[in-house]
Amino acid sequence: MEKDIALDTKNDAVGRRSAEADDRLPIPALLALAMTGFICIITETLPAGLLPQMAKGLSISNSLAGQTVTAYALGSLLAAIPLTVATRSWRRRTVLLLAIVGFLVFNSVTAWSSHYWLTLAARFFAGVAAGLSWSLLAGYARRMVTVHQQGKAMAIAMVGTPIALSLGLPLGTWLGGIIGWRSAFMAISALTVILIVWVLAKVPDYPGHSRHESMPISDVLATPGVRPVLSVVIAWMLAHNILYTYISPFLTLAGLGSQVDILLLVFGLAALVAIAITGKIIDRHLRLCVLISLAIFALVVLTFMWFSQIAAVVYVGVAVWGLTFGGAATLLQTALADTAGEGADIALSLNVVAWNGAIAAGGITGGILLDHWGAHAFPPVLILLLAIAFTISWWAKAHGFRAGARTGHGD
């Protein structure tokens, strides 16, 4: 009897240690994924902060230099789905390293190139690497942990985006002004080398999916809930990017045109806080987080519409806007991956297309509104888009944005 009790006690202790081990997040591995996202964003946005220097260095106009951002977005848009499908059966770390090496090669080419068309091509293929990265990161993070930890894991893996937007871009722009735009791109390449070593040392490898397990895109899109989530991605991100892309002329309405960098820093820091909050509550309240974020963003826009000329209101509004946006990537990608099931990788590549498409459409739509009606025209359009996103989210209760705790996360 005593031996049986001792054996049961030992087994209970082993079980507790096993459960504790399962509950420990693989922080170093998840932060490596976050660093990958950081490099994706900083590579994409750095030319915007160094546009005059790049134009001068390549002997081109500012508008032509601006097409280096367009080329990057186009590469992401075109490559995400076909590359995700083509590499689905490859081992996951191999695909991740392939994307990271792409950043190393093409950022280095950008740094050394003295020919515009070579630079444009390098930017396009850097965008290709980003398209593959974004379609991989969320699924990779989810695979590292148990189901009830997936929300927290994705929040950590996505933290590189707001850090890049809030700190990386201002720092890169400042650094480029001191050491030159070419050296700034080489600095990103140096970070990429460190990341390669980091991934090899800390990120676990997983097998890919067998060919017969691969779901056609049409089947993924036909999965209940996938299209509603993608529709919310498009509407929400289109609203966000109209305002974010043309934040400078909008802030001019309040006489804050010279403080764009400070306000973007406020936005980014608020977004970081939002990611921390999202990681704690996403597994139990994903649907509620989406609805609240959309509703509060809409209220902020209404406030901008009525009080856009009051500086203090704009500062507070930008901070609250950052809080509503910070968790968006984690919330939407988690909802999409949960809904798509076995087709999660394909669904997440569709998310890359939807997200980058919204970025491009935001630039075009915002430009048309600005040219014809001015920055005052932004809020009504944003309200309409956010109302559409909220309505879809509300009705997608059974599939897409399910009510209650995520599957596998008990009370």
For residue 293, give the 3-state DSSP assignment: helix
Compute CA distances 39 → 86, 213, 257, whole Å: 23, 31, 28
Query: What percent of the chain clears pLDDT 90, i.e. is strictly above it?
Result: 33
Q: What is the mean pLDDT of the chain?
A: 83
What is the model's pLDDT at position 372? 83
The one-letter amino acid code at 234 reads: I
Q: Please give the average per-residue pLDDT across 330-348, as a whole number.
A: 84
Phi and psi based region of residue 90 (left: phi greater than 0; alpha: psi -120 to 50; beta: remaining): beta
Q: Quickly state the pLDDT bin for 406 (edges 50, 70, 90).
A: low
CATH of the structural domain 215-405, one choice from 3.40.50.300, 3.40.50.10320, 3.40.640.10, 1.20.1250.20: 1.20.1250.20
Question: In whole angstroms, what is the distance from residue 171 CA to residue 330 CA?
Answer: 25
- pLDDT value, residue 214: 62
CATH T-level fold of 26-214: Growth Hormone; Chain: A; (1.20.1250)
More confident residue, 168 or 303: 303
Kindly indicate the confidence band of residue 149, based on its pLDDT and cuts at 50, 70 and 90. confident
| Gap between the Cα atoms of 356 and 76, Å rounded | 7
Pairwise CA distance, residues 247 & 261, whole Å: 10
C-beta separation of 254 from 267 below 8 A: no
Mean of the pLDDT values across residues 150-164?
Answer: 80
Residue 210 three-state SS: coil
pLDDT tier, 365 (very low <50, low <70, confident <90, very high otherwise): confident
Predicted confidence at residue 63, as pLDDT, reads: 66
Q: Give the integer Cα–Cα distance in Å for 233 and 44.
A: 20
Asked whether the beta carbons of 192 and 312 are under 8 A apart, the reply is: no
Whole-number Å distance between alpha carbons of 124 and 243: 25
**Domain ranges in the chain?**
26-214, 215-405
pLDDT in tens, 380-404: 999 999 999 999 999 988 888 887 7
Region 46-55: what's the mean pLDDT? 77
pLDDT band at 18 (very low <50, low <70, confident <90, very high): very low
Total-model pTM: 0.76
Range from 68-82, 194-208, 301-315, 356-370 that averages highest in pLDDT: 194-208
26-214 shares its CATH topology with 215-405: yes
**72-76, 132-136, 250-254: least confident range:** 250-254
Residue 376's contacts (CB-CB under 8 Å, 6 or more residues apart) are: 253, 308
Q: Which two tokens stand for residue 103?
A: 């950043």
Over residues 282-296, the pLDDT tens digits come to 888 889 999 999 999
**How far apart (Å, rounded) are the C-alpha atoms in residues 226 and 392?**
12
Query: Given pLDDT bands bounded at 50, 70 and 90, which one contains residue 213?
Result: low
**Residue holding tokens 């949960």?**
338
